[in-house]
Amino acid sequence: MADIWGAGMPHARGTVWPARVDQHLADGVTEDQVDRWVGSACLLCSNGCGCDIAVKDGRMVGIRGRATDVVNHGRLGPKGLYGSTAWAHAPDRLTRPMIRDGGLLVDCDWETAMGRVVEVSKRLLREQGPLSHGFYTSGQLFLEEYYTLAVLGKAGVGTPHMDGNTRLCTATAAAALKESFGADGQPGSYTDIEHCDAIFLYGHNMAETQTVLWARILDRTRAADPPRLVCVDPRRTKVAEEAERTGGVHLAPRVGTNLALLNGLTRELFEHGWVDHDWVREHTLGADDLRDIVEAYTPERTAEICGVAPDDLRRAARIFGESGNVLSTVLQGFYQSHQATASAVAVNNLHLLRGLIGRPGSGILQMNGQPTAQNNRECGADGDLPGFRNWDNEQHIEQLAKLWNVDPLVIPHWAPPTHAMQIFSYAEEGSIGFLWISATNPAVSMPESARIRRILDGDQCFVVVQDLFLTETARLADVVLPAAGWGEKTGTFTNVNRTVHLSDQAVEPPGEARSDLDIFLAYAEAMDFRDRDGEPLITWRTAEEAFDAWREVTRGRPVDYTGLTYEKLRGPTGIPWPVNEHAPEGTDRLYADAVFPTATETCETYGHDLLTGGAVTEQEHRALRPDGRAFLKGAQYTPAHEMPSEDYPLLYTTGRTVYQFHTRTKTARSRSLREAAPDMWVELSPVDAERLGIAEGDIVRVESPRGAFEAQARVGQVMPGAVFAPFHYGTPGLPGEVPRQANELTMTVWDPVSKQPYFKTAACRVRKIRDGGGPAPAPTTAASAPAQPGAAPATAGGALTVSRAVPVPAYPNDPSCAAEPGSR
């Protein structure tokens, strides 16, 4: 637990990342007692580490990394090891459906619960039509489940009101990829780590949020000839420390000023001639406009806006400009902060200006967070259309209509699909009277919690919640459906670098819990959705049949799954798409030929103005003749919606800690993880703490114009003027307990292009309530450590892991395997 990244295995540039198998078995279980190991991948973040699930007496009792998997080479991190199976047999798992009766949720059988769902659904469809229906799903279901939901929602119900919590998570990643390259899909690969000269991490605390990927980076930075790191984060994270250690830079911009910083970096590239003009002319559009936009962002002006030193900015730009190969990663410090899409696109711009794309070591990872967010974006249960199709392109709609054998008019495409924030507004007004929430806990995870609770609790909207547990959200539902979780059902999912894994069912779900696929299929059947010939709309019954239907949807699209089968995925490793007759073993890296899916006929969007979100029309797009060239797009920096004021003088930002996953439904049921970060805290800089008379562990009240919580203060690593709160801790709900969730304070505002809400920019004030009687319950092992070493007892626990180095297998697609055969 304390040794988050495990023992280092440093290795030379261009050689294969060494393999090591990490394994954890539940208390009292030994390896020889395990009955079977079942192939899967970890479902606790977007890294998608290949693993096997240990099964004993019909129960999941542990996990082991897969040495042969390209993604993780056998490694697992603390969440994967301790959090993957502990929740499965928790005594409070939902095992029966529930319905609200006389104000209370009471157990019932499936017939009653589904009967209630179908009755309300049919009535509203009859009386008010498809716009009365909303679906809010997840980044944690399986591909087959999203695809089924997408078909029943778009071709069955016919509603545009369908989105996922991916809107809160990686809508900006998708938007940035679409704006620059024409379609979603990660250009880069993890193998870029083995070949790069510099790594830029933008608003990405990878050391805590993708621990195995971070271990992979450490194995290069701790070896000879390391890449230099540049960290852009207002906290002094482990990433920031490593940036300093490697002779790189930690840029700590004022919260909400990312775009100004990036405009400053971009200007430096132009000023110093770090632009590959030939490449830019041949493969991109928009360089002149971009240069005009960034002209005013001199190092001095940028430094003033962002609160960084001008020379640090210059040094960072020089590292980008002069390194042979650069890998960039971007995550929530950008996606959930002010001017999200413009800032994320600016990272793509930097790579395009130097032509650093499509070759080993030069990659962009517009990261994902959730393990299956990518699949939701591919399958279109999130406000996209299946197969990265463009809702504004009639031909794309016709392709789907043909695949589903329905009239094109049934598929909603008269306006952009409704995004989650809008779906909740419609549910608030009651124009959406039926809202089906699956595998997400918005009562804790959406901004402005009090408002979300009101929407879910009110009578204006009938709420169905499908989950493993009676969450804060489920408690407000009208019907609760018990779902089978990871290991209890079969399906595929795709990690951030496009690697597809199959997760086979290992055990039976508890009680009457059913897989999400079975639940969606049962609804579709009860609703009697039909195609244009009167045949059942959905023809599949099993996950594998759903996958096979999906493969056809991807034919000819950038996200090509046609060469994948369940059989192939039962092999030694996950496989990155596209997989087809040209690339039967998959594709490590996109755009090696510098041809981008931007042609008007192909692209997933015609694009937007990054400042206002105004849409580009088909005619405008066609007139630009993008024809495979990438777009360089910029925007001016504007101040955030809510800036510090006299009343609320501090910047408020939120995020994660290494030991907890989201609203903790899984991680809090592992004793080791729970105890490592047991309760809410809030981080202040030493300067602000002193000014406010706050000491480590004091109980403080944090307030914004929208709400407040009380928690113990950690005098920590956040930059002066800012406050950081973890968002994992829900409201206890016991009488007399004060709310303590980070989202009580956040605001209902979103990015104009990606529509991703801004969890990382608001204003707040903090005051001391009373002594806390000890240090804050924040872990000491990473960014939440106290500023003063030793101010809190060291985080420990969970020594039940074994790790063993193993000979390196040959990884298909890994360019280091080809270049250095001797290193295997």
Ligand X SMILES: Nc1nc2c(c(=O)[nH]1)N[C@H]1C(S)=C(S)[C@@H](COP(=O)(O)OP(=O)(O)OC[C@H]3O[C@@H](n4cnc5c(=O)[nH]c(N)nc54)[C@H](O)[C@@H]3O)O[C@H]1N2
Residues that bind ligand X (CB under 6 A): 45, 79, 138-141, 165, 168-169, 203-205, 208-209, 232-235, 237, 253, 255-256, 258, 331-333, 336-337, 369-370, 438-442, 444-445, 466-469, 471, 483, 485, 516, 653-656, 658, 660-663, 665, 724, 727, 742-743, 746, 759-760, 783
Q: Min. distance of Cβ 76 from ligand SF4 in angstroms?
A: 4
Nearer to Mo ion, 169 or 524 (CB): 169
Please name which of 397, 442, 441 lies closest in space to residue 421, comparing C-alpha atoms.
442
Residue type, 612: T
Distance between CA atoms of residues 795 and 676, nearest Å:
6
Size of the site for Mo ion (CB under 5 A): 3
The DSSP code sequence of 163-221 is EETHHHHTHHHHHHHHHHHSS-S----GGGGGT-SEEEEES--HHHHSHHHHHHHHHHH
Distance between CA atoms of residues 400 and 384, nearest Å:
13
> Using an 8 Å Cβ cutoff, are 462 and 433 in contact?
yes
Residue type, 547: F
Distance between CA atoms of residues 111 and 308, nearest Å:
61
Residue type, 280: V
> What phi and psi, each to the nearest 5 degrees, are found at residue 403?
-60, -35
Please name which of 219, 207, 313 lies closest in space to residue 260, comparing C-alpha atoms.
313
DSSP character at residue 793 = P
Interface segment toward Mo ion; rule CB under 5 A; list 105-113, 166-174, 407-415, 727-735: 166-174
Q: Which residues face 100 on adjacent strands?
A: 105
The percent helix, strand, coil of the chain (3-state, each to 5) is 30, 20, 50
Strands 59-65 and 722-726: unpaired
Contact partner at residue 49 from ligand SF4, Mo ion, ligand X, none, CB < 5 to 8 Å by partner kind: ligand SF4
Residues that bind ligand SF4 (CB under 6 A): 42, 44-45, 47-49, 72, 76-77, 79-80, 210-212
Q: Is 307 in the site for Mo ion (CB under 5 A)?
A: no
Nearer to ligand X, 38 or 579 (CB): 38
Nearer to ligand SF4, 76 or 689 (CB): 76
Q: Min. distance of Cβ 656 from ligand SF4 in angstroms?
A: 11
Interface pattern 325-364 for Mo ion (x via CB under 5 A): ----------------------------------------
Strands 284-285 and 249-251: unpaired
Distance between CA atoms of residues 142 and 384, nearest Å:
16
Interface segment toward Mo ion; rule CB under 5 A; list 169-177, 554-562, 571-579, 678-686: 169-177
> Using an 8 Å Cβ cutoff, are 402 and 182 in contact?
no
Task: Write out the two tokens for 17.
Answer: 């990342």
Contact partner at residue 80 from ligand X, Mo ion, ligand SF4, none, CB < 5 to 8 Å by partner kind: ligand SF4
Contact partner at residue 77 from Mo ion, ligand X, ligand SF4, none, CB < 5 to 8 Å by partner kind: ligand SF4
Q: Is 369 in the site for Mo ion (CB under 5 A)?
A: yes
Nearer to ligand X, 602 or 756 (CB): 756
> Using an 8 Å Cβ cutoff, are 80 and 209 in contact?
no
Please name which of 614, 626, 560 lies closest in space to residue 590, comparing C-alpha atoms.
560
Distance between CA atoms of residues 560 and 183, nearest Å:
13
Task: Give 697's contacts (C-beta < 8 A, 6+ positions apart).
Answer: 712, 713, 714, 771, 772, 773, 774, 775, 776, 792
> Using an 8 Å Cβ cutoff, are 682 and 784 in contact?
no
Contact partner at residue 76 from ligand SF4, ligand X, Mo ion, none, CB < 5 to 8 Å by partner kind: ligand SF4
Q: Min. distance of Cβ 233 from Mo ion in angstroms?
A: 17
Q: Min. distance of Cβ 741 from ligand X in angstroms?
A: 8
Half-sphere exposure of 96 (CA within 13 A, CB side): 9
Q: Min. distance of Cβ 211 from Mo ion in angstroms?
A: 15
Contact partner at residue 205 from ligand SF4, ligand X, Mo ion, none, CB < 5 to 8 Å by partner kind: ligand X
Q: Min. distance of Cβ 40 from ligand SF4 in angstroms?
A: 11
Distance between CA atoms of residues 105 and 477, nearest Å:
8
Q: Which residues face 750 on adjacent strands?
A: 757
Task: Write out the two tokens for 407.
Answer: 């009239």
Contact partner at residue 339 from Mo ion, ligand X, ligand SF4, none, CB < 5 to 8 Å by partner kind: none
Q: Min. distance of Cβ 665 from ligand X in angstroms?
A: 3
Q: Min. distance of Cβ 447 from ligand X in angstroms?
A: 7
Among 169, 175, 474, 500, binds Mo ion (CB under 5 A): 169
Nearer to Mo ion, 370 or 393 (CB): 370
Q: Min. distance of Cβ 783 from ligand X in angstroms?
A: 6
Distance between CA atoms of residues 339 and 611, nearest Å:
8
Q: Is 726 in the site for Mo ion (CB under 5 A)?
A: no
> Using an 8 Å Cβ cutoff, are 745 and 709 in contact?
yes
Q: Min. distance of Cβ 489 from ligand X in angstroms?
A: 7
Contact partner at residue 232 from Mo ion, ligand SF4, ligand X, none, CB < 5 to 8 Å by partner kind: ligand X
Please name which of 516, 535, 643 lies closest in space to residue 143, comparing C-alpha atoms.
516
Task: Give 510's contacts (C-beta < 8 A, 6+ positions apart).
Answer: 88, 89, 93, 95, 488
Q: Min. distance of Cβ 22 from ligand SF4 in angstroms?
A: 8
Nearer to Mo ion, 167 or 267 (CB): 167
Q: Min. distance of Cβ 47 from Mo ion in angstroms?
A: 13
Q: Min. distance of Cβ 45 from ligand SF4 in angstroms?
A: 3
Distance between CA atoms of residues 699 and 778, nearest Å:
13
Q: Min. distance of Cβ 312 from ligand SF4 in angstroms?
A: 30
Contact partner at residue 341 from ligand X, Mo ion, ligand SF4, none, CB < 5 to 8 Å by partner kind: none
Distance between CA atoms of residues 45 and 31, nearest Å:
26
Nearer to Mo ion, 46 or 339 (CB): 46
Nearer to ligand X, 51 or 630 (CB): 51
Give residue number: closest CB to ligand SF4. 80
Nearer to ligand SF4, 47 or 336 (CB): 47
Nearer to ligand SF4, 371 or 558 (CB): 371
Nearer to ligand SF4, 471 or 801 (CB): 801
Contact partner at residue 730 from ligand X, Mo ion, ligand SF4, none, CB < 5 to 8 Å by partner kind: none
Nearer to ligand X, 132 or 746 (CB): 746
Residues interacting with Mo ion, by CB under 5 A? 169, 369-370
